[in-house]
Amino acid sequence: MTRPSRRLRTPLALVEAQPGPAFHVTFDGRTLNALPGQTVAAVLWSAGIVSWRTTRVDERPRGVFCGIGTCFDCLVTANGVPNQRACLVPARPGDVITTQRGDGHDSV
Amino acid sequence: MVVGAGMTGAACAWYAARAGLRVAVVDRGAVAGGTTGAGEGNLLVSDKEPGPELDLAMLSTRLWRELAEEAGFAADIEYEVKGGLVVAAQPEGFAALEAFARQQRRSGVVAESVAADALPELEPHLSRELAGGFYYPQDAQVQPARAAALLIRDARRMGATLHTGTTVTGLTRGAGGEVTGVVTDRGTLRASWVLNAAGTWGGEIAKLADVRLPVLPRRGFVLVTEPLPRLVRHKVYAADYVADVASGSAALQASAVVEGTAAGPVLIGASRERVGFDRGFSLEVARLLARRAIELFPALEQVRVMRSYLGFRPYMPDHLPAIGPDPRAPGLVHACGHEGAGIGLAPATGHLISLLLTGQRPALDPAPFRPERFGDGGIADDGIAREGIADEGAVDA
């Protein structure tokens, strides 16, 4: 048995994608590479980040669960707006993505 | 034999099992798969005018408290006596609320007048444009799907059996025409009593016994906001909600019913329209509900709605449920047609049914709930068949 090569496990290679030029977003101040068409969740996962929210009661870490917009587990704060589904929101150049704590509203 | 594993069927099963009856629950879907899973779990006395339904609600208020505190379900079913606050925009509306509350108090309802300048103490984010309101401390809430599931689990502990994914397709009849059991797609089950707790689909079960029970679907949407800090403390609704509930019109009615949840999202109801079993999303309704909610809580304007869900209330022409044995089909008993109050009325319904089936004195007069009160006029004449056929393609199997 041989381990599948790194290249084969990249979906970009699998579908022979030819994406447009990469751009940058930030996550908690850290600069990340993003490709056109990627969701915020895809950008974060590509960078090895799997958690970007803490739960409201026990402050447990959360990231993508269903990945298709149904479960609302992957909520994130993007450009200051909390409670957005990272798995649906497209990444845009210059997006400022931050870890969401609790409901993401310090005050209403 | 309980047909229907929603809140009403669950409560009937629990009280019957506790009374020592042998109980089986069948449902074509899952526990709480119908209207029970599509509501807000309100246990309200505030919206009910004096009469049989309020009497049933008062009994239920006591029984829910017993279930929560004595039977130990409180935490698991998210039982919360949060209190209801009904508000009026105009002085005339406030005066009407006062007259309504005065009548309700004679039935044991606690209703406290809240002047406009005292409203912010109860609800800090409420609009300052209101004329006043009434506070109903007995109004409470449960998580209905959990409540139904836990009552059924406890009934099973007492010996009841549960058959989900089992569709009732017919009834077996004895020599004298009496109902002796149900035919399902998984076989025949015999029973001394067949209890119709099929909610909005109760008319179809009745039809299997060749009796008419005019239960019609009355659609309602609920909007779910993003999770928020505690913005809404009570169940808050506009005075016109009471009139909407009592209306018999098929046209769309929407009055704001706003409440916070333990998990953070705010729930926004309540629309009512009779459009058959149409499960299509309605932007018109969603917009109307959002607008009405913002009128009550201006801060909601900055809040996003994450999703919505809909359900079909089991509507009866006189807004009273059908509870009790059906003299037209001996062996058949009904417990359905509670419209939007089924979660609240479930324990009283289950309690009443178990008393009736064990030959004991009912806790209150069951006469107003007689299932045969609508007569046997042609089944095709009351809209069930028409709405059913028109929307056949949209019915969830």
* Nearest Cβ partner for B229 among A72, A83, A103: A103
Nearest to B200 by CA among B282, B311, B41, B44: B311
Nearest to B363 by CA among B9, B18, B12, B60: B60
- pLDDT range class, residue B365, cuts 50, 70, 90: very high
List, for residues B216-229, the tens digit of each pLDDT value. Answer: 999 999 999 999 99
Q: Which CATH class is domain A20-100?
A: alpha beta
Dist CA B338 CA B198 (whole Å)? 11
Side-chain-side CA neighbours of residue B74 (13 Å): 9
pTM of the model: 0.86
> Residues B112, B117, B123, B128: is their CA dihedral positive or negative?
positive
The domain over range B84-137+216-315 is classified in CATH as 3.30.70.100: no
Q: How crowded is residue B167: how many other Cβ atoms within 10 Å of its Cβ?
A: 15
ipTM of the predicted assembly exceeds 0.95: no
Paired tokens of B290: 């959002």
Residues of A in contact with B231 (CB under 8 A): 108
Interface mutation target, options B226, B232, B233, B307, chain A, most CBs of A under 10 Å: B226
What's the pLDDT at A10? 72
Q: Does A24 touch chain B (CB under 8 A)?
A: no
List, for residues B27-57, the tens digit of each pLDDT value. Answer: 999 999 999 999 889 999 999 999 999 999 9
Question: Within A1-108, where are the H helices?
Answer: 11-14, 40-46
Cβ-Cβ pairs closer than 8 A, A with B, add up to: 30
What's the pLDDT at A108? 46
Q: Does A30 touch chain B (CB under 8 A)?
A: no
A83:B306 CB<8 A: yes
A83:B125 CB<8 A: no
The domain over range B2-72+143-214+318-394 is classified in CATH as 1.10.3720.10: no
Q: Does B263 touch chain A (CB under 8 A)?
A: yes
Q: Spell out a b/e string for B289-326, using b for 16 or more CB atoms within 10 Å of the CB, else e.
A: bbebbbbbbeebeebebbebebbbbbbbeebbbbbbbb
| Sequence spans of domains, chain B | 2-72+143-214+318-394, 84-137+216-315
What's the pLDDT at B380? 42
> Residues B29, B30, B36, B40: is their CA dihedral positive or negative?
negative
**Residues facing residue B2 across a β-bridge:** B25, B195
Q: How crowded is residue A85: how many other Cβ atoms within 10 Å of its Cβ?
A: 23
A108:B263 CB<8 A: no
List, for residues B161-217, the tens digit of each pLDDT value. Answer: 999 999 999 999 999 999 999 999 999 999 999 999 999 999 999 999 999 999 999
- pLDDT range class, residue A12, cuts 50, 70, 90: confident
What's the pLDDT at B272? 92
Spatial contact of B343 and B42, defined as CB atoms under 8 Å apart: yes
Dist CA B41 CA B79 (whole Å)? 9
pLDDT at B394 over 60: no
| Sequence spans of domains, chain A | 20-100
List, for residues B302-332, the tens digit of each pLDDT value. Answer: 999 999 999 999 999 999 999 999 999 999 9
Spatial contact of B140 and B64, defined as CB atoms under 8 Å apart: yes
What's the pLDDT at B264? 87
Q: Does A80 touch chain B (CB under 8 A)?
A: no
- pLDDT range class, residue A68, cuts 50, 70, 90: very high
Interface mutation target, options A74, A77, A81, A105, chain B, most CBs of B under 10 Å: A105
In three-state secondary structure terms, A85 is strand
**For residue B335, cis peptide bond before it (omega within 30 degrees of 0):** no
pLDDT at B381 over 50: no
- pLDDT range class, residue A3, cuts 50, 70, 90: low
Question: Within chain B, where are the H helices?
Answer: 7-18, 52-65, 91-105, 119-122, 144-157, 202-208, 240-246, 283-296, 342-357, 384-390
What's the pLDDT at A6? 52
B229:A104 CB<8 A: no
Nearest to B140 by CA among B34, B50, B63: B63
Q: Report the pLDDT averaged over residues A61-65.
A: 96
> Any residues with CB less than 8 A from the CB of B87 and at least 6 apart, and which?
B119, B126, B130, B132, B133, B236, B237, B238, B239, B296
Residues of A in contact with B226 (CB under 8 A): 75, 82-83, 103-104
